[in-house]
């Protein structure tokens, strides 16, 4: 197993900014676009700015949620609820959390990374991401566009599919 | 009683400390998050809905594959995928392709891949995305077949 594939402990690591190279590459891309088509680059910057404004409240909520989980649940308890010994309860929580989670996927990376370092199974992260396709606030819009039958059938298969993906992940990447 | 208190204090940090630690771990990830947000902004401008709609060929199987890939490339709110999906259906694109497009819009993200690798590791990201890709096509096919049987 590669070093980067191992769950790591946040608390033990010194503070280091991550993703500097990605940010650098993206800045270069913006620079190139500014040279080639400054209007498009300005529009892309505006859109990115709007995204930041939109996700800040969700980000603050996720920070608070991470803190509350870490404050009220000890690492052992997290492992008990979401780790190897969690049983059916863990699968249910991963599925439910995915369905009710808001915002873009990457907003949840730090929380999931934290839970993973405390013993959360990789299979549950897969279930969480897969079940996020069902967006409760957006269901009325989906029904409006595609009909009730389509929405119900799709949601059913998405939930079953999320659980099967988690089970396959357990076989592909078994954890102790 | 006192013994208990002295035993507990080193184990349980104050909420303020826990909050500070969480905020710091998010701050450490801020270049990564800014990088993805910047990439999403670029894709939103450079990959237009018109371009995505033009990709579909009218062949069920190929369109399902194209729908999955197009959904994975397109960034933004899932509502946009519903709007686009509705338009594609009106244009005669199959429900297989549109379902795949709507599912992969959320479960697969080309722009998020670098961050996913950084946070969860290469192997996890590879497995998760292969699973999501295959299940997108499978669920799209099963959903369409079931809807056709039911209606």
The interface predicted TM-score of the complex, written ipTM, equals: 0.81
Q: Is A35 part of any domain?
A: no
Both tokens of B110, joined, read 């080309």
Q: Inter-chain contact A48–B30, Cβ cutoff 8 Å?
A: no
Cα-Cα-Cα-Cα dihedral sign, residues B14, B19, B21, B22 = positive
Q: Does pLDDT of A3 surpass 50?
A: no
Dump pLDDT digits (tens) for B36-45. Answer: 899 889 988 9
DSSP state of A108: G
> How many of the other CB atoms lie within 10 Å of CB of B24?
13
Is residue A159 a part of any domain in this protein? Answer: yes
Is residue A62 one of the residues assigned to a domain?
Answer: yes
pLDDT score of B47: 84
Predicted confidence band of residue B88 (pLDDT cuts 50, 70, 90) = confident
How far is Cα A115 from Cα B28, in angstroms, rounded to an integer?
Answer: 17
**Nearest one of A72, A150, A145, A26 to B139, comparing CA atoms:** A150
Helices B15-28, B30-46: axis angle to 10 degrees equals 50
If one compares A73 and A25, the residue with the highest pLDDT of the two is A25
Q: Any chain A CB within 8 A of the CB of B58?
A: no
| Exposure b/e, A120-144, CB count within 10 A at least 16 = b | bbbbbbbbbbbbbbbbeebeebbee
Is the confidence at residue B144, as pLDDT, over 90? yes
Tell me what the mean pLDDT of segment A144-164 comes to: 95
Instruction: Quote the domain boundaries for residue B84.
Output: 2-150
B120 closest CB neighbour out of A15, A51, A125: A125
Which residue of B97, B98, B135 to mutate against A (max A Cβ within 10 Å)? B135
Contact at CB, A116 and B146, closer than 8 angstroms: no
Is A16 inside a domain boundary? no
Q: Which domain holds residue A152?
A: 3-11+57-172
Q: How many domains does chain A have?
A: 1
Task: For chain B, give the mean pLDDT.
Answer: 86
Rounded to an integer, the average pLDDT of B56-84 is: 85
Res. A171: pLDDT tops 90: yes
CB-side exposure of A170: number of CA atoms within 13 Å?
16
Which structure tokens are listed for B27?
Answer: 């701050």
């Amino acid at each position: 197993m590669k070093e980067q594939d191992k769950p790591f402990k946040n608390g033990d690591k010194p503070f280091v900014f991550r993703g500097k190279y990605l940010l650098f590459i993206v800045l270069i891309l913006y620079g190139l676009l500014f040279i080639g088509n400054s209007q498009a680059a300005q529009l892309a910057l505006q859109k990115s700015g709007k995204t930041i404004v939109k996700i800040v409240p969700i980000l603050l909520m996720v920070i608070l949620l991470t803190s509350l989980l870490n404050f009220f649940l000890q690492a052992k308890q997290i492992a008990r609820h979401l780790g190897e010994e969690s049983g059916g309860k863990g699968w249910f929580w991963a599925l439910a959390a995915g369905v009710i989670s808001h915002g873009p996927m990457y907003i949840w990376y730090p929380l999931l990374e934290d839970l993973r370092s405390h013993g959360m199974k990789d299979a549950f992260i897969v279930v969480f991401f897969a079940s996020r396709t069902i967006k409760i606030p957006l269901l009325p819009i989906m029904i409006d566009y595609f009909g009730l039958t389509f929405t119900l059938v799709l949601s059913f298969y998405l939930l079953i599919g999320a659980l099967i993906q988690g089970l396959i992940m357990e076989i592909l990447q078994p954890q102790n | 009683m006192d013994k208990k208190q002295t035993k507990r204090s080193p184990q349980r940090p104050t909420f303020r400390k826990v909050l500070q630690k969480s905020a710091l771990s998010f701050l450490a990830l801020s270049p990564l998050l800014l990088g993805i947000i910047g990439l999403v902004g670029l894709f939103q401008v450079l990959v237009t809905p018109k371009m995505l709609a033009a990709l579909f060929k009218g062949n069920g199987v190929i369109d399902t594959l194209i729908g999955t890939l197009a959904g994975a490339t397109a960034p933004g709110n899932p509502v946009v995928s519903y709007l686009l999906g509705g338009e594609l259906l009106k244009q005669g694109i199959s429900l297989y392709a549109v379902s795949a497009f709507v599912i992969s819009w959320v479960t697969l993200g080309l722009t998020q891949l670098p961050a996913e690798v950084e946070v969860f590791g290469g192997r996890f990201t590879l497995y998760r995305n292969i699973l999501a890709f295959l299940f997108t096509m499978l669920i799209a096919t099963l959903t369409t077949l079931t809807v056709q049987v039911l209606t």
